[in-house]
Structure formats: C-alpha cells, structure tokens
Structure 1
Amino acid sequence: MAIRVLTKLASAAITLGLVLLGGGQADAAPPRTSGPTGIDVSWPQCGKTLPKQPAFAIVGVNNGLANTTNPCLAAQLAWANTAPNPPLTAQPRVALYVNTANSGLQGSWWPSSNSYGGADVANPYGVCGSGTDDFKACSYMYGYAKAYDDATIRGVDNPQNYLWWLDVETGNSWQPDKAANVADLEGMAAYFKSINAKVGLYSTGYQWSQIAGTVPAGSPLAGLPSWLAGARSLTGAKSNCSSPALTLGGRVALTQYISGGLDYNYSCP
C-alpha cells in the first residue's frame, strides 16, 4: 500500500507520496543556505542513486504495509550511516519509521490474548479475547505486535538505539473507531518504550484528525515529538515548524518537503 502525505489544504483529499514521490533518482540535495537537511527513504528508492552523506537520514522499515519488510532495508541503513558524525542537527544521524494500521478483524491476523513474543503484556484496555467488548484491548495488542515484529524480525540490529517514527496515514487500513486507533498506536509506542527506544509521530494535522482525533492528555502518545508532512518547499517546511503538534504537550521537531523527487526534512529549531 502506498505511503501518503496530504497537503495543508485539509478540505481537499489530495495526497502526495511520502516515499512514492521520493522514488526518482537524485544525486544532489537542494540548496542548504538555511542549514543542513535530512532525507527519508524506503522501498521505492530500492536501486536508486541517493545523495551522499545526508545531514541525517530516516529509513522506512516496512514495504508499505505494517506487516511487511523493506527489501532494501540493509542497504539503505548502510547509506544512512554515512551521515556525518557528530550530527549536524538536533536530529539523530539515523532514525527509522514504520507503517501503522488498525486492520481489525478484516486483516490477515488479529490477536486473541494479551500475550505476544512469549511474554504477557500489561494492557490498559483490559483482556484481548475476553468477549465482545475487547476491541480496544485487541487493538492495543495488534499495535504492540506490529512494533515487536518491526524491532525483532525485520533485520534491525540494536533497535533500542533508534528513534522510531510511527507513520500515521489514511492510505493504510484504519477503523472508524478513533479510540481503537489510538489504542493501536499506544500499543506500538508501549513496545518501543519497553526496549528503551524513543518514539515520535509522523502525519499531517488532517490525517491525524481523521484517524486518531484529539488524544487525551493521559495517553502515552501525548507529548511525543511530531514530524509533519505536507510542505512543497523548504520555506513551507520551515513554516510548518510553527504548526500545532499532533498531540497535547508535544512539539513539532521535524517537517518534510519534496524536492527533486526526494523527501527532505527540516529540523525545527
């Protein structure tokens, strides 16, 4: 499934590819007169020539769906690790992003207990598999399981050392129950936090409102850094740094724009 970003015109359902528009060959970064910019890549860039030594890099772990693996993950991580050390911005030299979704009972797999990966999981929504009122509990377990898989079976060494961005977009499968979608994302965040990894949220304000809505202040998602998509230029990306964060108590740490067929990212002050 294509990863998508929306423009800032929330009333229009026009989407731009986070990675699909980044699929073109590019060897030169755009002008960097206002400071270094990073690049994000994933499966559409397999076999493409990428700019050398990006200021920082963010690599997609999945192949467009939450239950898949980017076939070029190892090669792209090797490219990402050419980023300068020490870092040139407030961003880590290399970060990861993962596709998210809440497919519910329509998906190829749905949890039936609070156990995954050989461990019992503390579930704030109750017991998955306990009856007809367990959908949020199972959504939490679904998110937890997808994050567990991302960290353990996709080929990421030392997953605890990365910042993991949760890519939240309308192009993937979601439930009409926003509270269940929030539970799903909380489950993902909970797993990454359980291994002492950092977590952030990628989306646009419009897409987030459609999928998750307003997240309660007590949610584990509240206060997480936001990575905002939707800009068409570096100027627009800078402007988006002053946009509202996706959740209460958070801040916009990173903004994305498209240039020369690649996704570039501006580290907000």
Structure 2
Amino acid sequence: MASSAWRIAVIAVGAVAAVAVPGVASADTTVGYDVSHPQCGTDLPRDRAFAVVGVNGGLSTRANPCLQEQLTWAWESSGEVDDQPRAQVYLNTANPGHLLGEVTTWPESGATPYGVCDGTNSTACSWQYGWERAQNSVLSFFTPAARAARVDSQPSRYMWWLDVETMNTWQSGSVDALARNRATVEGMTEYLHSRDAEVGVYSTGQQWAQIVGSVDEDSVLAGLDSWLAGSVTADQAEDACDEEPLVPDGDVVLSQYVRDEWDRNASCR
C-alpha cells in the first residue's frame, strides 16, 4: 500500500492550535497518514490526527520489521478527528492457491463456511488461507510488536483494514477464481471478527472488481467500511468520499492520495 502507485494524501483542514506535548502530535491538523515497511528508518510526520500502520512487510506471510516503532508513533497521533481511531492497522491480502507446490503456507485442512478444506485450490481452502493469514498476522506479528511498544495489544481496540490490490498474487480468469479470492478476504474478516475487531476494505473500485468481483448482501464483507485509493489530488480525494463504497451497505470513511511522497488520508465522516 504505502509503496503502491495509488499512494495518497489529505487536505489539512484548519483546526484550533494546541500546546505541543513531547512525543504527541499537536492538534493542528485533521490529516492522517499511513506507513509500513517502506518507511522504515525514515523520520515519520510529526503532526497527524491519526495513523494507519501496515502489519505486514508487503506480503501477508511477512512482518513489517518496523511495526513496533510505527505503532508507538501511531498512538502518539493527536486524535483530532473524533470518528477516526488515532491508531489503525492494515493487512496485506492475497490468494496464491493456483500456485500449489510453490506455496508452503497453503492450508491442508479446516472446516469452513464453504465446506471442508482438503488442500486443493478450492473455495474452502481459500477461505481457510485467509483465516490463517489473518490469525498469523495478529498472533505472530501484531501482538508481540504492540506489547514491545507498550501500546494496546487487543485487536478489538483497532480498526483493521484489508489491503486488496493487484500488486499482490491473486487468481483470475473465471467467476470461480473471483469467488476464491472473495473467500480469502471473507476468511480474514471472519478471523478478525472473532477477535471483536472492526474491519474495513482498502482498494480502488477497479481493482476491487478485478480481484473480488461482486459481493452478495449475505457475505460477511457486506456492510464493511471502505477506504478508497486512487486519487491524485486533494480535491479528488475529497470528491472520492461521495463515491460508491466497495461493498453493499458499506460507507466510504477514508480517502487517500499522495503528496510530498507521503500517503495522507482524509476522513469522510
């Protein structure tokens, strides 16, 4: 996300100035930022209302090596935007089931809403793959980093965004392939819901349609919030707040564009 071509920024709306507190952003902006492994070793923006941190290192099977430091930074955001949690996170997503034999993390078993996973490139195993990748990201990457950073380590205290974009590995070429991709995102959502976490989806309309296709109203994805990428100017990011959400019954709550090489985010609430 933070290294993709869709990176974005937000319009900083004037706010009442506040006395700066060491280590905590001053409440003079409504801008939010998202960062991840590409920003390791860089000086992160000082003033921000909220921040979204990538848990993964580009792939769902890898950890962001700077997650601990970036979580600390996120929690030091000002919280100026009431409807946006000051510290949010996102997970990379993918479905490499068509690469069986090359993917060591593909599940071999598991009971799912689509039946029993038998280790094949099936909808059931795609769902199980999503569940396991979310579970591993929470238990092996996020929780240890949050505890080391001495910030809240409960998944239920964060907004979790699922980053769905074509730069990751997805299946294609048929309606069944889209259904398997969709099942993976559903599996990730189901695991996060099992931890009482709030979940949303990040993408552009075009890439979402290419990867996931349509979403039925009885899917667990229906009603999730949308974070829209793809804007190239601040005005476009603001206008994108009025676009259709990625899933039925959802709302667009964040809009993103890039400025000065930083991903910035405008709250649509």
Q: Using structure 1 for the length normalisation, give the TM-score.
A: 0.84
Displacement of 1:108 in angstroms is 2.8
Q: How far apart are the structure 2 equivalents of 1:257 and 1:72?
A: 23
Q: Is the 8 A contact 1:62 1:69 kept in 2?
A: yes
What is residue 76 of structure 2 aligned with on the other side?
Answer: 82
Q: Find the residue that maps to 2:200 and give its secondary structure.
A: strand
Query: Are residues 214 and 175 of structure 1, via their aligned partners in 2, closer, same or farther at CA, if it must alter by over 3 Å?
Result: same
What is residue 191 of structure 2 aligned with on the other side?
Answer: 191
Displacement of 1:230 in angstroms is 0.7
What is residue 267 of structure 1 aligned with on the other side?
Answer: 267
1:127 aligns with 2:116: yes
Amino acid across the alignment from 1:68: R
Q: How far apart are the structure 1 equivalents of 2:141 and 2:242?
A: 35
Amino acid across the alignment from 1:62: N
What is residue 219 of structure 1 aligned with on the other side?
Answer: 219
What is residue 10 of structure 1 aligned with on the other side?
Answer: none
State which of 122, 127, 145 in structure 2 corresponds to 1:140. 127
Displacement of 1:123 in angstroms is 1.2
Amino acid across the alignment from 2:70: Q
Q: How far apart are the structure 1 equivalents of 2:108 and 2:171?
A: 18
Q: How far apart are the structure 1 equivalents of 2:260 and 2:82?
A: 22
Q: How far apart are the structure 1 equivalents of 2:77 and 2:82?
A: 11
Displacement of 1:2 in angstroms is 8.2
Q: Is the 8 A contact 1:60 1:96 kept in 2?
A: yes
Amino acid across the alignment from 2:261: G
Q: How far apart are the structure 1 equivalents of 2:142 and 2:213?
A: 33
Amino acid across the alignment from 2:89: L
Query: Are residues 252 and 108 of structure 1, via their aligned partners in 2, closer, same or farther at CA, if it must alter by over 3 Å?
Result: same
Q: Is the 8 A contact 2:156 2:196 kept in 1?
A: yes
Q: How far apart are the structure 2 equivalents of 1:171 and 1:198?
A: 25
- Name the structure with the higher helix share: 2
Q: How far apart are the structure 1 equivalents of 2:182 and 2:57?
A: 23
1:1-269 matches, within 5 Å, as 4=4, 16=5, 18=7, 31-33=12-14, 36-85=30-79, 87-104=80-97, 105=100, 106-114=102-110, 123-129=112-118, 135-156=122-143, 157-176=153-172, 177-269=177-269
Q: Is the 8 A contact 2:2 2:263 kept in 1?
A: no
Q: How far apart are the structure 1 equivalents of 2:6 and 2:66?
A: 18
Q: Is the 8 A contact 1:53 1:80 kept in 2?
A: no
What is residue 118 of structure 1 aligned with on the other side?
Answer: none
Displacement of 1:107 in angstroms is 2.2
What is residue 25 of structure 1 aligned with on the other side?
Answer: none
Q: Find the residue that maps to 1:230 and give its secondary structure.
A: coil
What is residue 147 of structure 2 aligned with on the other side?
Answer: none
Structure 2 runs not aligned, ≥5 long: 16-28, 144-152
Q: How far apart are the structure 1 equivalents of 2:232 and 2:55?
A: 24
Structure 1 runs not aligned, ≥5 long: 5-15, 23-28, 115-121
Q: Using structure 2 for the length normalisation, give the TM-score.
A: 0.84
What is residue 11 of structure 1 aligned with on the other side?
Answer: none
Displacement of 1:81 in angstroms is 1.1
Q: Is the 8 A contact 1:52 1:82 kept in 2?
A: no
> Number of residue pairs matched?
240
